[in-house]
């Protein structure tokens, strides 16, 4: 039987014609942009970042279009790169010699990469921001002094190089989000817990609640990323008193080397009551999260929450926009609750809530040395941190503004940093000590939060496995400190020349910067010597025994 011919012989070619047309159009768009730039009609500033949240991209676009209305000779384009490949992508761009004009500084971009491939911005920070000339309070201030943190925190300021390498523009904090509809169904009100005991009681009620059609709910949507806002804070609060005894620099913070050396010296251990009470809280909170949360990604936790399979999720302000647009229910927000004053049921190691006073700024853009249009890129950064630019960036992204004088949206006030409180204690995940110590924690976490796990089992494993990993991480710290101290020599020499011969290359802040850089070098070398001395003195076979 002969198959009947189709009455529409053009149909098979229709899809192919459409694909070819779209390909030609994309080539035309790409070529027209580059031809336009090549003949000098417009300069294109390309911005690369890893914030794929729709709010951030929309906000940058809004600020970019406003900037272009002021500067018709400049066009702003953004390139959003997934965070999982961002570090490798940035390195390829920098080494290849054709990087974007502005690159968001990720935590993985270290001092060596900054010194080699990024332009120092300290001098630019000392001049006023021309885009704030109409603001009487800010017009004459150095650009640095218009930021909430004075550009003194990472990743904008590199303490090893004593130099500014990035311009931040926003601020974020972490909070607990909850499903107000489910909360009203379960508890008959929408009042969130204000103390740790109320929080744990609420989790226990949710865990045993039978919803419509016998549906059960997980109290907290968990993942590896979404667990840390709770676990890190509770452990840091319970060990605050121990942390103060380890603060070698009297900086009101427990640094990674201090925590590690204190453990090796026996100044604290997993047998201490504050440490065990902190682990007990973490075990109970971990049991309220999605089973197997340590193996889940952030997207899994968000999906769990917006699908109404979990009542709460702990996350940062960066997720607020996405959660509200994806969820089909009303969302409430409340701060992480701590033990009530005078409550000793969780031990006596805590002083009080962990302060957020040291919260730095984010969405930090650095200027590569080989940027195609560095002057235009720097001018856009100034506009981004002007009153008008930062207001639009904050409102559209849903993040807190990062510069002084920018109004805060009333809906964001719950996210403002909690200034009252006390410094953090020990780091639960050992991330600030080094990768080997953190790996021991991650491989042992199941011994704490699994149904068959316990505080004793986890503490025993950590006590046995940590010393060797700590030594490895500390030796790595020694090498990094010495390398950073050496890398400051060239910059210190240049500053010294400015101090000795100011008429040749004047700089008003040269002496203060030289003093700060020299202090940093001395501290780095002193810490390296202290670590080497302590590791040599402490016998590897001796198990840490706390003196508390």
Q: Tell me how far apart the terminal alpha carbons of the chain are, to the nearest angstrom.
A: 93
Question: Parallel, antiparallel, or unpaired for β 43-49 and 102-104?
Answer: parallel
Angle made by CA atoms 485, 488, 493, in degrees to the nearest 5: 130
Question: Parallel, antiparallel, or unpaired for β 331-334 and 43-49?
Answer: unpaired
Looking at residue 78, what DSSP letter applies? E
Angle made by CA atoms 244, 250, 253, in degrees to the nearest 5: 55
Assign 112 to helix, strand or coil. Answer: helix
Whether 32-172+360-398 and 179-355+424-429 share one fold: the answer is: yes
In angstroms, rounded to a whole number, what is the distance separating the alpha carbons of residues 452 and 454? 7
The CATH homologous superfamily for domain 32-172+360-398 is Periplasmic binding protein-like II (3.40.190.10)
Q: Which of 432, 485, 436 is nearest to 262 (CA)?
A: 432
Looking at residue 6, what DSSP letter applies? P
The partner residues of 541 in beta bridges, in order of sequence, read: none
Structural domain boundaries of the chain?
32-172+360-398, 179-355+424-429, 472-536
pTM to 2 decimal places: 0.82
Q: What is the pLDDT along the chain (548 residues), one digit of tens a residue?
A: 445 555 556 555 666 666 666 566 556 544 555 555 555 678 999 999 998 877 888 999 999 999 999 999 999 999 989 888 998 999 999 888 889 999 999 888 888 888 888 999 988 998 999 999 888 888 889 999 999 888 888 888 987 777 899 999 999 999 999 999 999 999 999 899 999 999 999 999 999 998 777 789 999 999 988 888 888 999 999 998 998 888 877 777 788 888 988 999 899 999 999 999 999 999 999 999 998 888 888 889 999 999 999 999 999 998 888 898 889 999 999 999 998 887 777 777 788 888 888 888 999 999 999 999 999 999 999 999 999 999 999 999 999 999 998 999 898 999 999 988 888 888 888 878 888 999 999 899 989 988 888 999 999 999 999 999 999 999 888 888 787 777 676 666 666 766 676 655 555 566 776 777 777 777 777 778 877 877 777 765 455 555 55
Assign 506 to helix, strand or coil. Answer: coil
CATH fold of 179-355+424-429:
D-Maltodextrin-Binding Protein; domain 2 (3.40.190)
């Amino acid at each position: 039987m002969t198959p009947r011919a189709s009455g529409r012989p053009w149909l098979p070619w229709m899809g192919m014609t459409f694909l070819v047309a779209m390909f030609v159009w994309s080539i035309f768009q790409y070529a027209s942009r580059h031809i336009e730039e090549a003949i000098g009609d417009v300069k294109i500033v390309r911005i690369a970042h890893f914030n794929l949240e729709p709010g951030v991209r929309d906000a940058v676009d809004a600020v970019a279009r406003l900037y272009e209305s002021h500067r018709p000779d400049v066009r702003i384009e953004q390139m959003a790169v997934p965070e999982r490949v961002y570090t490798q992508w940035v390195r390829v761009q920098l080494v290849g010699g054709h990087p974007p004009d502005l690159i968001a500084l990720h935590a993985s971009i270290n001092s060596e990469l900054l010194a080699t491939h990024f332009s120092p911005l300290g001098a630019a920070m000392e001049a006023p921001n021309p885009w704030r000339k109409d603001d009487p309070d800010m017009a004459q201030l150095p650009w640095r002094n218009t930021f909430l943190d004075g550009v003194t925190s990472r990743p904008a300021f590199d303490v090893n190089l004593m130099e500014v390498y990035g311009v931040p523009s926003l601020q974020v904090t972490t909070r607990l989000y909850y499903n107000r509809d489910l909360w009203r169904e379960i508890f008959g009100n929408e009042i969130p817990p204000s103390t740790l005991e109320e929080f744990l009681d609420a989790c226990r009620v949710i865990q045993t609640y039978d919803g419509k059609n016998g549906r059960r709910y997980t109290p907290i949507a968990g993942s590896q990323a979404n667990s840390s806002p709770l676990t890190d804070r509770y452990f840091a609060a319970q060990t605050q008193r121990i942390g103060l005894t380890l603060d070698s620099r009297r900086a009101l913070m427990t640094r990674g080397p201090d925590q590690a050396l204190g453990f090796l010296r026996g100044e604290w251990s997993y047998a201490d009551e504050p440490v065990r009470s902190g682990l007990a809280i973490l075990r109970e909170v971990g049991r309220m999260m999605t089973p197997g949360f340590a193996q889940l990604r952030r997207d899994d936790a968000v999906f769990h929450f917006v699908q109404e399979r979990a009542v709460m999720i702990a996350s940062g302000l960066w997720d607020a926009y996405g959660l509200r647009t994806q969820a089909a229910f009303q969302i409430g927000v409340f701060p992480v609750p701590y033990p009530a004053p005078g409550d000793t049921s969780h031990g006596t190691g805590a002083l009080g809530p962990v302060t957020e006073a040291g919260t730095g700024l984010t969405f930090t853009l650095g200027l590569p040395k080989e940027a195609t249009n560095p002057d235009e890129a720097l001018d856009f950064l100034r506009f981004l941190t002007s009153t008008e630019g930062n207001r639009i960036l904050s409102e559209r992204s849903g993040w807190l503004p990062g510069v002084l004088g920018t109004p805060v949206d009333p809906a964001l006030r719950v996210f403002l940093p909690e200034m009252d409180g006390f410094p953090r204690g020990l780091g639960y995940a050992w991330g600030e000590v080094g990768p080997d110590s953190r790996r021991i924690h991650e491989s042992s976490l199941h011994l704490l939060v699994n149904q068959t796990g316990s505080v004793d089992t986890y503490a025993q494993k950590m006590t046995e496995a940590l010393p060797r990993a700590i030594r490895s991480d500390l030796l790595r710290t020694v090498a990094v400190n010495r390398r950073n101290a050496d890398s400051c020599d060239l910059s210190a020499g240049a500053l010294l020349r400015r101090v000795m011969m100011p008429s040749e290359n004047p700089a008003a802040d040269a002496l203060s910067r030289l003093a700060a850089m020299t202090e940093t070098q001395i501290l780095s070398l002193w810490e390296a010597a202290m670590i080497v001395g302590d590791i040599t003195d402490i016998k590897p076979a001796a198990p840490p025994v706390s003196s508390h």
